[in-house]
Amino acid sequence: MDQAKFSDGVMHTKDRGSTHLSQETVKKLIHQSQEAKQHSYCPYSKFRVGAALLTPDNCVFTGCNVENACYNLGVCAERNAISKAVSEGYRSFKAIAIASDMNDQFISPCGGCRQFIREFGSNCDVYLSKPDGSYLKMKVDELLPVSFGPEELSLKKVFDIPNDTEPVL
């Protein structure tokens, strides 16, 4: 990873430690997602998406969608932002703002991104925005009800795969 470029994507906001986001913080986070959208690499879909993710200590990690000639390798903006944050040591998030170019519709995170956000907790607020800065605030549980998460993996099962099960070589 290009360290210089990466640190550009990390910003500190004023209201350190607060749980409720001020209008100013929400506005700023949405603005940062719009800025991230400008880096979108989307020659195939021509659909730009940006995301800005707020950590508990008020750092912001941004991401954009990055497509590929091998279409299925494309990565969404939200997943890029989350992966950047996780690879820098963060595992819980206060909020994520998402931006696109759609005039009349709030950008809605795809199913995979909903699951990706949910992995790191259901308390993250998700701000679906329009280019004019208006937004819809949603909880992860609203976007992905009755979700499957890491907790399920350790629940009691009727059958346990033995620990000495060997992989096929």
Cα angle for residues 139, 83, 151 (degrees, 5° grid): 55
Decide whether 47 or 148 has the Cβ nearer to ligand THU. 47
Q: How far is CA 114 from CA 18, 62, 137, in A?
A: 24, 17, 14
Among positions 69-108, residues that touch ligand THU (CB under 6 A) are 74, 76-78
35 in a labelled binding site: no
Active-site residues, by number, are 78
Helix axes 111-119, 77-86, angle to 10 degrees: 20
Q: How far is CA 110 from CA 107, 114, 116, 169, in A?
A: 9, 6, 10, 35
**38: contact with ligand THU by CB under 6 A:** no
Is 66 annotated as belonging to a binding site?
Answer: yes
The answer to whether residue 131 forms part of the interface with ligand THU (CB under 6 A) is: no
Judged by CB under 6 A, the residue of 42, 59, 86, 138 near ligand THU is 42
- Is residue 95 a known part of a binding site? no
Which residues sit at the interface with ligand THU, rule CB under 6 A?
Answer: 42, 45, 47, 49, 65, 67, 74, 76-78, 109-110, 113
